[in-house]
């Protein structure tokens, strides 16, 4: 699907991804004002002495903030729904789960998704009386009758499997379940789950969405007024909101999202081809490779492939030698930033092999990155 084939707002003529990213959420032009107003640093605001908080949306900074509203408008425009931003991706995901699920409910979570979400489910949700089931991203899925919520992460982190979202949405809705999609790896430029049948999107904005490795952010997006109200009430009650400066930094960063993703995808494609030809690398996963198990679904569903790939170097020692030898690949967790990073997931307690690596491509020149990874692999052999 090309970027101009994507669903567009009815209020404006069709535009491409880059144009939407540059202009998303900006206020109407005002002479003498900046394109993106500076962050509003306020906890309390002046109130109307007669009407109190009813006279303005700004009464106290926890429920609302003008800078936060602009960011929510921008992310909502990209995702195709209404958005609420949170202090981190984990805050957004756990907030959704706790706001929607009650004792006696059943939830299905990805067995191969983000490890802290699975740990939260077994430690907290189960303790609250929620029955937790796990299913691999690519399936098979259990019978969904009686399930309240299905949460999938596609492409999955860190294994990069992909699920057919329209098919799963059909199954979930036929059983009376809600479908939530973690869109962190794909970003809203890679796929729009709400257009594919999902009821709600959750994501970490810490990663590729903002892409500068300088803030923590999460969000929930939906077209359901009921879900939006539930999530908003939860966020207000718990106070899991981002600060004004983080919200401003995130909005500023959105303008380059299309450009950053284009280079990251190109770098991932080049590294995937390099790694696929090496006998000393196993378990390579990138959904853009024709031989990848996720390729048939990914090419139908994703508008662009992620800048993340995974592979196995056989041992923790070899991963360490590879990282020490690389000049352009930093040892760091998280992904989606401007700098290429590699993360040995087992060191965080994730149930992956000792030599499993999640590599996140930055925006370095492709030829330089390929040469550096090649040299580092040779040095680590």
Three-state SS for 259-295 is HHHHHHHHHHHHHHHHHHCCCCCEEEECCCCCCCCCH
Q: Give the C-alpha separation, 172 to 152, whole Å.
A: 12
What's the pLDDT score for residue 2? Answer: 38
Residue 4 lies in a domain: no
- Confidence grade of residue 349 (pLDDT, cut at 50, 70, 90): confident
- Confidence grade of residue 351 (pLDDT, cut at 50, 70, 90): confident
Among the three residues 209, 237, 254, which one is the final residue of a domain in this structure? 254
CB 6 within 8 A of CB 18: no
Are 293 and 228 part of one and the same domain? no
Are 376 and 294 part of one and the same domain? yes
Are 235 and 292 part of one and the same domain? no
Among the three residues 254, 286, 307, which one is the final residue of a domain in this structure? 254
Are 36 and 120 part of one and the same domain? yes
Percent of the chain whose pLDDT exceeds 90: 92
Are 318 and 248 part of one and the same domain? no
Q: What is the mean pLDDT of residues 325-353?
A: 95
CATH of the domain at 295: 3.90.1150.10
CATH of the domain at 147: 3.40.640.10
Residue 370 lies in a domain: yes
Are 231 and 341 part of one and the same domain? no
What's the pLDDT score for residue 6? Answer: 41
Are 245 and 315 part of one and the same domain? no
Residue 6 lies in a domain: no
For the cut 70, the answer to whether the pLDDT of residue 139 exceeds it is yes
For the cut 80, the answer to whether the pLDDT of residue 1 exceeds it is no
Are 151 and 227 part of one and the same domain? yes
Are 295 and 185 part of one and the same domain? no
What's the pLDDT score for residue 9? Answer: 43
What's the pLDDT score for residue 13? Answer: 72
Q: Give the C-alpha separation, 248 to 213, whole Å.
A: 14
What's the pLDDT score for residue 11? Answer: 57
Are 265 and 237 part of one and the same domain? no
- Confidence grade of residue 290 (pLDDT, cut at 50, 70, 90): very high
Q: What is the mean pLDDT of residues 199-223?
A: 98
Residue 108 lies in a domain: yes
Q: Give the C-alpha separation, 267 to 369, whole Å.
A: 8
Give, in order, the Cα–Cα distances in Å from 308 to each of 93, 189, 329. 21, 15, 13
Are 203 and 276 part of one and the same domain? no
Q: What is the mean pLDDT of residues 209-237?
A: 97
Judged by DSSP in three states, 311 sits in: strand
Radius of gyration of the chain (CA): 21
Provide the mean pLDDT of the chain: 95
85, containing H or E segment: strand 82-86
Give, in order, the Cα–Cα distances in Å from 252 to each of 96, 245, 255. 26, 10, 6
For the cut 60, the answer to whether the pLDDT of residue 30 exceeds it is yes
DSSP letter for 126, please. G
Residue 191 lies in a domain: yes
Are 337 and 360 part of one and the same domain? yes
Buried/exposed 69-102: b ≥16 CB within 10 Å, e otherwise: bbbbbbbbbbbbbbbbbbbbbbbbbbbbbbbbbe
Give, in order, the Cα–Cα distances in Å from 155 to each of 120, 183, 309, 317, 322. 20, 8, 10, 28, 26
Could you report the per-residue pLDDT of 157-198, keeping only the tens digit for each? 999 999 999 999 999 999 999 999 999 999 999 999 999 999
Q: What is the mean pLDDT of residues 203-218?
A: 97
Residue 278 lies in a domain: yes
Could you report the per-residue pLDDT of 226-249, keeping only the tens digit for each? 999 999 999 999 999 999 999 999
Residue 100 lies in a domain: yes
Domain containing residue 210:
11-254
Q: How many domains does the chain have?
A: 2
Among the three residues 202, 220, 254, which one is the final residue of a domain in this structure? 254
What's the pLDDT score for residue 323? Answer: 98
What's the pLDDT score for residue 3? Answer: 39
For residue 158, is the peptide bond before it cis, meaning its omega torsion is within 30 degrees of 0? yes
Percent of the chain whose pLDDT exceeds 70: 97
Could you report the per-residue pLDDT of 59-105, keeping only the tens digit for each? 999 999 999 999 999 999 999 999 999 999 999 999 999 999 999 99
């Amino acid at each position: 699907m090309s970027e101009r084939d994507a669903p567009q707002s009815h209020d404006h003529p069709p535009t491409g991804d880059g144009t939407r990213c540059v202009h998303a959420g900006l206020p109407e032009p005002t002479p003498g004002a900046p394109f993106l107003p500076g962050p509003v640093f306020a906890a309390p605001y002046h109130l109307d002495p007669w009407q109190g908080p009813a006279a303005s949306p700004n009464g106290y900074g926890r429920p609302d903030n003008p800078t936060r509203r602009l960011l929510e408008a921008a992310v909502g425009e990209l995702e195709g729904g209404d958005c609420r931003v949170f202090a981190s991706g984990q805050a957004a995901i756990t907030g959704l789960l706790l706001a929607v699920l009650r004792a006696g409910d059943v939830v299905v979570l990805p067995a191969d998704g983000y490890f802290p979400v699975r740990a939260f489910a077994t430690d907290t949700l189960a303790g609250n009386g929620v029955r937790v089931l796990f299913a691999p991203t690519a399936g098979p899925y259990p019978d969904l009758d009686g399930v309240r919520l299905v949460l999938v992460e596609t492409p999955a982190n860190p294994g990069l499997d992909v699920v057919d979202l329209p098919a799963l949405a059909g199954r979930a809705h036929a059983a009376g379940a809600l479908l939530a999609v973690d869109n962190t790896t794909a970003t809203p430029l890679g796929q729009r789950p709400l257009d594919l049948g999902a009821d709600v999107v959750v994501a970490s904005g810490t990663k590729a969405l903002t892409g500068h490795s300088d803030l923590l952010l999460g969000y929930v997006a939906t077209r359901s007024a009921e879900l939006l109200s539930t999530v908003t009430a939860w966020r207000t009650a718990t106070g899991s909101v981002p600060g004004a400066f983080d919200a401003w930094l995130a909005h500023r960063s959105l303008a380059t999202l299309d450009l950053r993703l284009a280079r990251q995808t190109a770098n991932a494609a080049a590294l995937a081809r390099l790694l696929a030809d090496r006998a000393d690398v196993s378990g390579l996963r990138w959904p853009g490779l024709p031989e990848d198990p996720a390729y048939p679904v990914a090419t139908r569903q994703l508008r662009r492939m992620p800048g993340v790939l995974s592979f196995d170097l056989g041992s923790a020692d070899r991963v360490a030698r590879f990282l020490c030898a690389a000049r352009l690949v930093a040892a760091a967790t998280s992904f989606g930033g401007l700098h290429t990073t590699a993360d040995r997931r087992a060191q965080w307690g994730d149930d992956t092999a000792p030599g499993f690596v999640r590599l996140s491509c930055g925006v370095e020149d492709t030829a330089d990155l390929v040469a550096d990874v090649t040299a580092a692999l040779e040095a680590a052999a």
